[in-house]
Structure formats: C-alpha cells, structure tokens
Structure 1
Amino acid sequence: MTKAAEGGAGQWVKLSTKIIYQSHWLELRCDETVLPEGSRGRYDHVVVPGSVTVLAVDDDGRVAITRQWIYPHAETQWRLPAGRIEPADPTPEAAARRELQEETGITAERLQGLGIINCADSFTNHREHAFLATGLIQGSPDLQPGEADLELTWLPFGRVLAMVADGEIPHAGSAFAVLATKVGGILDLSG
C-alpha cells in the first residue's frame, strides 16, 4: 500500500477507481476506499464538468431570466442563464461569457465572481461558478440544440429575489447568485 493509500485518521483514501459508464456529459465511477475509521468500502459517484450561472443585471436593475423545459426534472423552470464549462473554455469566466451570449445574446462589459457552490456533493463532484454581469449589450442569441424553447424575460431584481424565496427558481446556481448578490450588498438592487 502506498503512503497516499495509507491515509490518516479522519480521512477517506481512494485505493482504486473503476469507470462504470462514460459519455460526453459524465462519468459514473466506483471507488474502492478506506473509510476514516479504517474499514474498506465502496463509493459510487458521478463526475461531471463544472458549470456557470450568470446574474445579468441591466442599468435599470432588471435581471435577465430564462424559462425553458428542464429534461431531468420534467418541467419548465425559471433560471438564470447557465450551462456547462466546455473543454474549449479556458476559464469559468470565459464559459460564463459564452453561455450568457448563447442563451440571451447579451455581452457584458463587467463580470464579477460571486462564488462557487457544490451541488449534490454526496453524489457528484459538480461545482457551479456564479457571476454577476453588468454593463450589458444586447445582441442576438445563438441557441444550441435543446434550447429552442428558451424564453428570455426581464424582471426587477426584487421580483427575482421573491421568486427564489418562494421556490419558483429551484436551480441552485441561480438561487445562489441572487442571494449572494443581495446578502453581499454588491449592487443597490432594491427594485
């Protein structure tokens, strides 16, 4: 057993990984592990690329919010522009700029990081990077396959905050971006 595999008190140690399933979107892995108390175990989990969510706020304090069918949840949902970090994206910020433009046609003069949220972390490594976009310039969207039903709406920040509080925006990255902006006092968005 290697030194890394020996681990220490209170640590999980990965002994091996077996990829059960792999696609362009995810890997399902089975890790043989040593648990913190020393017993051996198995940990099944999903490995996916990170993603981004963008809270785009115009000069009037209105938020660009989308509505579209979300296949895994089998329902139409409100959410902020969001998407996967692609291998060609050099940084999460580049992915955020790309996703914002693709879904809404908007480019932003300024993009500020709001933080990173772990999503379903007992089951996956998924991390969502949230950004605030300001200095917006409207252009034409470049919707990707599966986004033909995506609709863009502009709502006052206060209304979007109320939608998060009422559970109308269940997307974790969207809720985090809205709450981080409000709690952090990043902008005066009382409208």
Structure 2
Amino acid sequence: MVGEWAGRGWEQLTSEVRFTSGWFEVRRDEARRPDGSVGPYDHVRAPSAVTVLALADDSQVAVTRQWIYTHGEPQWRLPAGRIDDRDSCPEEAARRELAEETGVVARKWSTLGAINCADSLTNHRDHAFLATGLTFGEHSLEPGESDLELHWFPVDELFGMTLDGQLPHAGSTFAVLSAKARGLL
C-alpha cells in the first residue's frame, strides 16, 4: 500500500495499524502532501456496507427504527448493514440484510449507486439498492438488533422525512434521493 497515492500529489510513506477490531481498524500513515510537507494522517478502514430501499407494490417503503449507539439516539433508516466476508458481492449482502432485518425477499434488484461516508475520516462506502417484487416472511435479527422496529411509510412521507433530516443515515438518504432523482419513486 505504501506509495499508492503517488502521482496524485499525495504519497503514503508508511502505514501503521494503531487499533483493530472485528468492525474496523485505525491507522496512522505518514504522508507527503501535494505541497511537499510530510505529516501524519489518521484514518479508519472499515468494510463497505449496503442500504436497501424496499418498495412494496402499494408504494410503501420498509423503514427501521433502532437505537444507534454512536449517535446516542434512536434513528429512522432503511434496512442496512455491512458487507461480510461471506458475501460474494454488495447485492448478496443487501439481499441478506433485507431478509434478516425485515423478513422480506425481493424478486427484482436495481443498483442505485454508492456513497463515500466521511471521506476525510474513513474509506467506508455504502452501496444502495432498490428492491421490488417483495415477498413477506419472518425476520432473523442479530443480538445487537433486538430493539429494531420495522415500519412501512408511504413514498411521499419518506421523501419528506428525508428532506426534513429525519433520515440522517447517509446510505438511507442517498438511496431515497437517488431513487427519486431517477424517477423510481
């Protein structure tokens, strides 16, 4: 990885893992900046994630509400989760997360794009999908999701919540706005 930014004005001189867990790692790099100065660059490397906009035939969208520990409050968000090592691609992770959190299986999947989350802090990237042709079943929540509630909102209400800042999760906001801009909602 050393030198991967060469030719773009940045050069990574060294990279040291300062902390690692099953969720992320914290690194301190020594980097040469475009102006020639050298200094530390601390950042977090984390696996990518997925967010699913699950749209039912009656124009209702699956929305979860759950306590978000890092923000210290409950939040509305679309079904979402990280891409695990067992997932062969982002869409496979999206299918798994949607089924786990909602019990919903979708017949049709469309890619809405991806968004970088907190660029200066982390490499974390969220891949967004539109899921339609829904079949409803039982969810299979993980231990940390026992407080997750599933709600269904009309498309227009969800769009309003997004514009009002009531859907602060970056992947969720991106998915709603991307689908709306493409005429899919």
Q: TM-score range by the shorter chain?
A: over 0.9
Q: Does 1:68 align with 2:69?
A: no
Deviations 1:49-69 (A, max 9, x none): 000000000001110001111
TM-score by length of 1: 0.93
Measure the CA separation in 1 of the matches of 2:66 and 2:147. Answer: 6
Q: For the Cα contact (< 8 Å) 2:5–2:12, is it kept in 1?
A: no
Shift of residue 7 of structure 1? 3.2
CA distance in 1, matches of 2:4, 2:58: 55
Cα pair 1:5 1:15 within 8 Å, conserved: no
Check the 8 A contact 2:57/2:133 in 1, yes or no: yes
Q: Distance in 2 between matches of 1:56 and 1:6?
A: 38
Aligned alpha-carbon RMSD (Å): 1.4
1:151 to 139, 149, 154: 149
Runs of 4+ in 1 over 3 A off after TM superposition: 4-8
Structure 2 partner of 1:7: 6
Offset at residue 11 of structure 1 (A):
1.4
Equivalent in the alignment of 1:96: 94
Contact 2:114 2:126 in 1 (8 A): yes
Give the counterpart of 2:130 among 124, 129, 132: 132
1:68-93: CA deviation from partner (whole Å, max 9, x where unpaired): 11110110110000000001100000
Q: Distance in 1 between matches of 2:141 and 2:69?
A: 16
Structure 2 unaligned blocks of 5 or more: none
Question: What is the identity, as a one-letter code, of the residue corresponding to 1:99?
Answer: E
* Equivalent residue for 1:37, pick from 35, 51, 56: 35
Q: Structure 2-normalised TM-score?
A: 0.96
How much has 1:37 moved relative to structure 2? 1.6
Spell out, residue by residue over 1:79-126, the C-alpha distance to the aligned partner (whole angstroms, 9 max, x if none).
Answer: 000000001100000000000000000011011100000000000000
